[in-house]
């Protein structure tokens, strides 16, 4: 379910790193919890982000939720296709519905994020708590 | 539902349940110096007949038999008894803002129809389910423009209602807006276009004008739009007299319309409650304050209504909400909806034309009075500024003796305009009363000061 080469945050974002560039999106767990996504608000390329800084919102029919940057860096590209097809975040959250690409300023920060197994365990725990 | 206060025994019961000995005991955590140590000094209870008697006496304090020529943001228009009869239905009168929206289909349908009518009147693509009033709609529009453009400067014409500008000032002082005012042209009474071109720059979020403006003059909305858009700013058009839209060109070039809906079926009362409107372009909808009712179909394909865009409101988004408006003026918006439906497309046009005709007649009659002249050349709807040979306040004192509530003295709002006054006439102003105003005025001005 959760790609093994991605890293994950407790706020349910993922980041995939190739060289100095990271691609960021929200996880399948997050899209499922939010429900039908109707709008995605993203920053402009060039925006400088701190780790855990809010950089946009995802709006579902139920709520508007903040999206937080998994690491520090500068936004190099945003997924413009989501402006017209936000529902892709529901259907392909780990692939074509990526949100932003960024140039990492402190790649060391990746070490503090969860890998796929740890994230799976984290959401299992969350679901257990929710149903308890 | 009965609103009776708790009895002593109920109070004792509740105090016992939470383990407090007395009310004093319950409030122990509040420092004694801040507590009231004696009962509130209120008059004692009255019997039902006593209450009726009391209010009858208070009602008798109201002045009767006066003719008013006041407008300036609140307008006396004809209202149908049908409106009051319908809004007093319990389903509408007692319902609170629809937080459990979809069980209130009737309320949502009424809001949806209100939005539709506001779009048709203003020439805009979306209208929200009402603001508190026109004066709060202006700062909401300014804040919205700041969110859309990412800029913080707002240029406001001095011909925008002075009290609306005060409310804007209050929002700006405590928020992240910088407000700058531009003058009106002395000749036309419309905004000074050169001043507007100079003031609107690359940091300007919005240019805000009012039409008809506070001096009664209709503005050139397309020209103002061009000035704003050239610098990437939005044009906010304030409308305080919504009835003007029955005949005036809708401000379709505006990016945001901030309107007072009082003229559409709401009595002037003591200045409220009214209903404000924000209407805008669809592309700005996510920066619009408040909520929208939308039309949809249910699982069986039947027409139904939902609240959309409520996700950006305060009860969901907390400090990140687009606005601090929580509820709306649903009942007043409903009254406006019913009123407009009763009038229909033809009716509102005819009513607006009657206003124009009355204003033309009044202008002609009053301009015949020696010493009185029209102050501004710009086109007007049902309100206009006159210049008098002496202070408007002094003239009004004399008019009042003849049971005429005269022109609004502009000196209170514009210190250099003490000899100018704002006259309003609507379809409710009898022609004979306009003639009487001219006659009495002539008499007053013939007498030496």
Predicted structure pTM score: 0.86
Whether B353 and chain A come into contact, CB under 8 Å, resolves to no
Least Cα distance to B334 among B125, B126, B117 occurs for B117
Whether B317 and chain A come into contact, CB under 8 Å, resolves to yes
Whether B320 and chain A come into contact, CB under 8 Å, resolves to yes
Whether B311 and chain A come into contact, CB under 8 Å, resolves to yes
Whether A66 and chain B come into contact, CB under 8 Å, resolves to yes
Show the beta-strand stretches assigned E in B14-152: 67-68, 126-127
Q: Which residues of B164-173 are buried (b: 16+ CB within 10 A; e: fewer)?
A: bbebbeebbe
Least Cα distance to B249 among B278, B216, B208, B212 occurs for B212
Which residue of chain B comes nearest to A83, CA vs CA?
Answer: B283
Which residue of chain B comes nearest to A58, CA vs CA?
Answer: B311
Whether A83 and chain B come into contact, CB under 8 Å, resolves to no
Whether B283 and chain A come into contact, CB under 8 Å, resolves to no
Rounded to a whole number of angstroms, the distance from the CA of A101 to the nearest CA of chain B is 23
Least Cα distance to B158 among B376, B413, B423 occurs for B413
- What's the rounded mean pLDDT across residues B21-34? 89
pLDDT in tens, B267-317: 998 888 999 999 999 999 989 998 889 999 999 999 999 988 777 777 777
- What interface predicted TM-score (ipTM) does this complex get? 0.70
HSE-up of residue B300 (Cα within 13 Å, Cβ side): 2
Q: Which residues of B touch A61 (CB under 8 A)?
A: 311
Q: Which of A59, A64, A66, A84 would best serve as a mutation to test chain B binding (most B beta carbons within 10 A)?
A: A64
Rounded to a whole number of angstroms, the distance from the CA of A63 to the nearest CA of chain B is 5
CB pairs under 8 A between A and B: 16
Angle at B202 between CA B287 and CA A100, to 5 degrees: 50
Least Cα distance to B238 among B285, B171, B191, B202 occurs for B191
- What's the rounded mean pLDDT across residues B379-397? 97
pLDDT in tens, B112-143: 999 999 999 999 999 998 889 999 999 999 99
CA dihedral sign, ordered B394, B399, B400, B402: positive
| CA–CA gap between residue B268 and residue B160 (Å, rounded) | 20
What is the Cα B373 distance to its own chain's centre? 29
Rounded to a whole number of angstroms, the distance from the CA of A9 to the nearest CA of chain B is 22
- What is the SS3 assignment for B241? coil
A41 with B311: Cβ contact below 8 A: no
| CA–CA gap between residue A65 and residue B252 (Å, rounded) | 33
Q: Which domain holds residue A99?
A: 6-131
Rounded to a whole number of angstroms, the distance from the CA of A65 to the nearest CA of chain B is 8
Assess contact for B203 and B155: CB atoms under 8 A: no
Predicted confidence band at B101 (pLDDT cuts at 50, 70, 90)? confident
A66 with B286: Cβ contact below 8 A: no
Is there a domain that residue A1 lies in?
no
Listed range (A106-120, B14-28, B416-430, B431-445) with the worst mean pLDDT: B14-28
Whether A62 and chain B come into contact, CB under 8 Å, resolves to yes
pLDDT in tens, B148-196: 999 999 999 999 999 999 999 999 998 789 999 999 999 999 999 999 9
Q: Which residues of B touch A59 (CB under 8 A)?
A: 286, 311-312
Average pLDDT, chain B: 93
Q: Which residues of A touch B312 (CB under 8 A)?
A: 59, 64
Which residue of chain B comes nearest to A63, CA vs CA?
Answer: B311
- What's the rounded mean pLDDT across residues B378-392? 97
Whether A64 and chain B come into contact, CB under 8 Å, resolves to yes
User: In which region does residue B286 sit, left (phi positive, over 0), alpha (psi from -120 to 50) or beta (all else)?
Assistant: alpha
Rounded to a whole number of angstroms, the distance from the CA of A107 to the nearest CA of chain B is 30
Rounded to a whole number of angstroms, the distance from the CA of B350 to the nearest CA of chain A is 43
- Check whether B3 has a pLDDT greater than 70: no
All residues at 6 or more sequence positions from B65 whose CB lies less than 8 Å from its CB, including other chains: B403
Helices (H), B200-329: 221-230, 314-317
**Token code pair at residue B325:** 């408006």
Whether A132 and chain B come into contact, CB under 8 Å, resolves to no
Q: % helix / strand / coil in chain A, to the nearest 5?
A: 30, 35, 35
Residue B292 pairs in a beta bridge with B308
Q: Which residues of B touch A43 (CB under 8 A)?
A: none
- What's the residue count for chain A? 132
Is there a domain that residue A122 lies in?
yes
The secondary element (H helix, E strand) that includes residue B405 is strand B404-405
A63 with B316: Cβ contact below 8 A: yes
Go through the domains of chain B in sequence order and give each one's CATH number.
67-77+345-446 (3.90.1150.10), 81-340 (3.40.640.10)
Rounded to a whole number of angstroms, the distance from the CA of B312 to the nearest CA of chain A is 7
Q: Which residues of A touch B311 (CB under 8 A)?
A: 59-64
Question: How many domains in chain A?
Answer: 1
**Binding-face residues of A in 30-49 toward B, CB within 8 A:** 39, 41
B311 with A66: Cβ contact below 8 A: no
Is there a domain that residue A111 lies in?
yes
Q: Which of B307, B311, B313 would best serve as a mutation to test chain A binding (most A beta carbons within 10 A)?
A: B311
B316 with A41: Cβ contact below 8 A: no
pLDDT in tens, B329-374: 889 999 999 999 999 999 999 999 999 999 999 999 999 999 999 9
Is there a domain that residue A89 lies in?
yes
Is there a domain that residue A74 lies in?
yes
Pairing outcome for strands A6-8 and A13-18: antiparallel
- Check whether B1 has a pLDDT greater than 60: no
| CA–CA gap between residue B433 and residue B199 (Å, rounded) | 44
Ranges of chain A with pLDDT below 50: none
Whether B51 and chain A come into contact, CB under 8 Å, resolves to no
Whether B41 and chain A come into contact, CB under 8 Å, resolves to no
Assess contact for B115 and B127: CB atoms under 8 A: yes
Among the partner residues A39, A62, A66, nearest to B286 by beta-carbon distance: A39
CATH (domain of A17): 2.40.50.100
Rounded to a whole number of angstroms, the distance from the CA of B53 to the nearest CA of chain A is 52
Is there a domain that residue A96 lies in?
yes
pLDDT at B2: 58
Rounded to a whole number of angstroms, the distance from the CA of B101 to the nearest CA of chain A is 13
pLDDT at A115: 96
- What is the SS3 assignment for B23? helix
């Amino acid at each position: 379910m959760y790609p093994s080469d991605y890293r994950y945050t407790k706020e349910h974002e993922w980041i995939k790193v190739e060289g100095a560039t990271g691609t960021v999106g929200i996880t399948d767990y997050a899209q499922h919890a939010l429900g039908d996504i109707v709008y995605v608000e993203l920053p402009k390329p060039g925006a400088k982000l701190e780790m855990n800084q809010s950089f946009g919102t995802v709006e579902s029919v139920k709520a508007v939720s903040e999206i937080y940057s998994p690491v520090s860096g500068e936004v190099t590209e945003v997924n413009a296709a989501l402006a017209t097809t936000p529902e892709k975040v529901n259907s392909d959250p780990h692939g074509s519905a990526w949100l932003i690409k960024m140039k990492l300023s402190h790649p060391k920060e990746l070490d503090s994020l969860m890998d796929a197994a740890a994230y799976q365990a984290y959401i299992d725990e969350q679901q257990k708590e929710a149903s308890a | 539902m009965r609103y009776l206060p708790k009895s002593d025994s109920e109070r004792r019961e509740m105090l016992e349940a939470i383990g407090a000995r007395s009310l004093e005991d319950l409030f122990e955590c509040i420092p004694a110096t801040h507590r009231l140590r004696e009962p509130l000094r209120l008059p004692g209870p009255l019997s039902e007949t006593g209450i009726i008697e009391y209010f009858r006496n208070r009602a008798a304090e109201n002045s009767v038999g006066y003719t008013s020529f006041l407008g300036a943001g609140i307008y006396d228009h004809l209202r149908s008894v049908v409106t009051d009869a319908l809004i007093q239905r319990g389903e509408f009168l007692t319902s609170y803002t629809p937080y459990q929206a979809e069980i209130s289909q009737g309320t949502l349908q009424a809001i949806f129809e209100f939005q539709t009518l506001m779009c048709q009147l203003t020439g805009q693509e979306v209208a929200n389910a009402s603001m508190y009033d026109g004066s709060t709609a202006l700062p909401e529009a300014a804040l919205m423009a700041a969110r859309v453009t990412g800029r913080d400067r707002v240029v406001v014409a001095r011909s925008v209602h002075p009290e609306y500008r005060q409310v804007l000032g209050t929002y700006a002082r405590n928020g992240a807006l910088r407000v700058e005012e531009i003058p009106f042209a002395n000749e036309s009474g419309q905004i000074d276009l050169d001043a507007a071109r100079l003031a609107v720059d690359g940091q300007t979020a919005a240019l805000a004008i009012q039409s008809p403006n506070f001096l009664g003059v209709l503005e050139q909305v397309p020209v103002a739009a061009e000035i704003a858009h050239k610098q990437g700013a939005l044009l906010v058009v304030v409308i305080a007299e919504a009835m003007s839209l029955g005949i005036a060109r809708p401000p379709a070039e505006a990016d945001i319309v901030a309107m007072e809906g009082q003229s559409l079926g709401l009595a002037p009362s003591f200045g409220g409650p009214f209903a404000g409107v924000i209407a805008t372009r669809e592309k700005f909808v996510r920066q619009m304050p408040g909520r929208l009712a939308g039309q949809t179909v249910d699982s069986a394909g039947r027409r139904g209504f939902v609240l959309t865009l409520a996700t950006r409101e305060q009860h969901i988004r907390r400090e990140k909400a687009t606005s601090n408006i929580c509820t709306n003026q649903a009942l007043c918006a409903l009254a406006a909806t019913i009123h407009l439906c009763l009038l229909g497309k033809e009716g509102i046009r005819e009513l607006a034309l009657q206003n124009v005709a009355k204003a033309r007649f009044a202008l002609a009659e009053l301009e015949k009075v020696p010493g009185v002249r029209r102050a501004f050349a710009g086109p007007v709807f049902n309100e206009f500024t006159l210049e008098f040979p002496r202070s408007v306040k002094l003239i009004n004192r004399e008019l009042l003796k003849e049971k005429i509530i005269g022109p609004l003295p502009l000196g209170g709002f514009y210190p250099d305009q003490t000899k100018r006054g704002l006259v309003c006439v609507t379809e409710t102003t009898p022609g004979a009363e306009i003639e009487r105003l001219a006659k009495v005025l002539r008499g007053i001005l013939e007498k030496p000061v």
